[in-house]
Amino acid sequence: MQYQKICFDTMEVVREAAAYVRERHQERGDLNIEKKGRQNYVTEVDTHTEQILVKGLSALLPEAGFIAEEGTNKKQGDTWNWIIDPVDGTTNFIHGVFPFAISVGLREGDRVVAGIIYEFGLDEFFYAWEGGGAWLNGKPVRVSSVPRVRDALIATGFPYTDFSRMDQFMESVDYFMKNSNGLRRLGSAATDIAYVACGRFDAFYEYGLNPWDIAAGILLVREAAGRCPTSGGMRMCSTGNM
């Protein structure tokens, strides 16, 4: 398979879905909001956006299955599976706050080989394919060269359903607030990781993430010469130097 072509074709499907999300973002007063759990929301925009993505991606690769946040299609592929977050940052979307993003990754076996993150606030397409580098709106990007925590701007995500590691997490917050160049929480893990890939953040960490939160972003960071290990239950993405 030509990973570059599938990446570009996927971007066109994401554009279609993004047009719908942008239209509904202007009409948020009509949103039907449901709770999936404490501080965990879903709207009809999440569901319909996922359906648009599933339809378009099925046409691109009929044999592929889906790992999608809202579960609108549970087909499992033998080799290929799309990993989809239709609106990463739903709470931000509900309140009219940026960032929020669409995240789509294509997994071949156990490898993500193409990834796209579209962030609405700055109208930015981040994308990568295996062996092709990482890109932002047509220009190549790389992680930053910051080697030390004390010089790093670090992003994180707050727990909102799983509080089992709160003590460990709060220790990390205390440490990074005192020893880094700053700590940020945007409310969209996909955007956070994309920002690591293009050097805006020097590192990101969070626990309790799902495959659809991180699949596309991990490929972006790796293709941008960064790394994304897991340690102590926390996923971290950073420059290759830290």
Q: What digits encode the pLDDT tens for the residues 196-233?
A: 999 999 999 999 899 999 999 999 999 999 999 987 67
Protein fold of 3-141: Fructose-1,6-Bisphosphatase; Chain A, domain 1 (3.30.540)
Question: Which residues belong to CATH 3.40.190.80 in the chain?
Answer: 149-238
Phi, psi dihedrals of residue 213, rounded to the nearest 5°: -75, -30
Q: Looking at residues 39-53, what average pLDDT do you find? A: 85
Residue 62 and residue 74 in contact, taking contact as beta carbons nearer than 8 Å: no
Residue 192 and residue 155 in contact, taking contact as beta carbons nearer than 8 Å: yes
Q: Looking at residues 31-57, what average pLDDT do you find? A: 82
Residue 121 and residue 219 in contact, taking contact as beta carbons nearer than 8 Å: no
pLDDT for 40? 56
For tokens 């404490």, the residue is 38
CA 240 to chain CA centroid, nearest Å: 20
Spell out the CATH class of 149-238. alpha beta
pLDDT, mean over the chain:
93
Residue 189 and residue 77 in contact, taking contact as beta carbons nearer than 8 Å: no
Give the model confidence (pLDDT) of 128-183 as tens digits.
Answer: 999 999 999 999 999 999 999 999 999 999 987 778 889 999 999 999 999 999 99
pLDDT for 26? 86
Q: Pull the structure tokens for residue 137.
A: 């709106």
